[in-house]
Amino acid sequence: MTRTRLTVLAAGGSFALLAGAFLFQALGYPPCALCLWQRWPHAVAIVIGAVALMIWRPATPLLLLGALAAATTGGIGIYHTGVERDWWEGPSSCTGTGGGLGGDLLSTDIAPVVMCDDVVWSLFGLSMASYNALISFGLAALWVMAARR
């Protein structure tokens, strides 16, 4: 597979994951703070992919930055999965009762507060954070493969 095709797949994968996150949000699954943190590296990977595709032969360090962005969101996804499964504590502002305030008190009709330790959707025992981590590490591998071509 060519460097260009691998770059398109890697950046396109981040685009698909980010679009999926927005679709879930539109379907009534509001994101927690850690979910939002996972979105930013995907946006960075998409921009890196767009820049790389505008350059005839993108430099390997640029493609490795794409891999770093994908691995970063994968790492945040692993962290978020651990928070959801009570393997470790998450940020006090979005776990338990949200820093001493009940979730109901913080929620509004406009912007409901979603706690980071609540799994709002899962499939086959894996949450959205878990799927994001698995797929993102796969995307990081595609970026590295593109860089090595």
Q: Kindly report, residue by residue over 60-112, the tens digit of the pLDDT.
A: 899 999 999 999 999 999 999 999 998 998 888 887 755 554 444 444 455 66
Give the CATH number, domain containing residue 18.
Answer: 1.20.1550
In angstroms, the CA 21 to CA 31 distance is 8
In angstroms, the CA 32 to CA 35 distance is 5
Q: Kindly report, residue by residue over 105-137, the tens digit of the pLDDT.
A: 444 455 667 888 888 888 898 999 999 999 999
Decide: 14 and 45 in contact? Cβ < 8 Å: yes
Range of the domain at 134: 3-148
Look at the chain and report how many structural domains it folds into.
1
pLDDT over 70 (residue 19): yes
N- to C-terminal Cα distance for the chain? 9
Burial class (CB in 10 A: 0-12, 13-18, 19+), 26: exposed
**3-class DSSP assignment, residue 24:** helix
**Beta-carbon-side half-sphere exposure of residue 144 (alpha carbons within 13 Å):** 9
Q: What predicted TM-score, i.e. pTM, was given to this entire model?
A: 0.84
